[in-house]
Structure 1
């Protein structure tokens, strides 16, 4: 009988610990933390002509607090980004690192249409300072459009670097 009592107490303790961990693991289960969930998945990425640009796999990790991106371009380029909502700053952030050593830091939030818009800080350049801005737009057909543009100091678009249409594999 004493042994059964100990087993019940042990099970109760484990269940309480599991519940406490479950509550802790849901710290990022807010609407803000889920605002970019439409980008999750295993994707084939095309340009507007239908040519394959690459593949991208977006996973949730760290108990739902981080979106991990793994890009493989058709040209051999690769890159990884960490995307997360910062509750202190009330903003989404991305840190991207490519296989060429390129680093891009972005910050932003969803716009009124639900598209995620993130912009870099000012990039100093001898030919003129600029900003990077990337917008991910969820489409009604389940695809996602990613648009990467360069903005001048007045935040006007001066160049498009990338336009990709994500289709789930």
Structure 2
């Protein structure tokens, strides 16, 4: 009887340990939608010149994608935290760069694109505007990042258009 009880306790302990080790709150399909952006990248402008380098890593038990950007323009860097917000059922990005620039983007994946945008704001001329950033997961393994500023009455301005290629 004692042997049976010992085996039962050991079995229960093993099952509990396996359950705890496989419990990952951020290992859902939603949390992996932006994984195509994970990696170490060289980024080029549409004309082929180097725009910069970017390193995107998963952290906090797969709950966050951390971006570390270094521009080809000397001295310009930035960092973002990207995460799937389970409450709102959407992705968010909080970006801040070393010049004090800040963006808070929200949105979702549609097909092979992650499309995030800011809330509407008003510029100095009283016009409403927003920023929309679209990452496209290309079939050849590259990622295109297109940052558009959309201003009421003015249309769309391209703030950034970069092609990401994985570093070797």
Q: TM-score, normalised by structure 2?
A: 0.86
Structural mapping, 1:118-137, within 5 Å: 118-127=116-125, 128-137=127-136
The CA distance in 1 between the partners of 2:10 and 2:101, in whole Å, is: 51
Task: Report the TM-score when normalising by structure 1.
Answer: 0.86
Which structure shows the higher strand fraction? 2
Return 5+ residue gaps in structure 1 as ranges: 1-5
The corresponding residue for 1:3 is: none
User: Runs ≥4 in structure 1, deviation > 3 angstroms?
Assistant: 9-13, 15-18
CA pair 10-99 structure 1, distance change in 2 beyond 3 A? farther
Alignment of 1:140-159 (within 5 A): 140-153=139-152, 157-159=155-157
Q: Hey, what does 1:115 align to over in structure 2? A: 113
Please say if residues 149 and 157 of structure 1, whose CA atoms lie closer than 8 Å, have aligned partners that are also in contact: no
CA contact (8 A) 1:66 1:84 kept: yes
For residue 19 of structure 1, give the secondary structure of its aligned residue in structure 2: helix
The Cα shift of 1:27 comes to: 1.4
RMSD: 2.3
Q: Which runs of 5+ in 2 are unaligned?
A: 1-5
Structure 1 pair 51–126 and aligned structure 2 pair: CA distance change class (3 A): same
Change over 3 Å in CA distance of 1:12–1:90 after alignment to 2: same
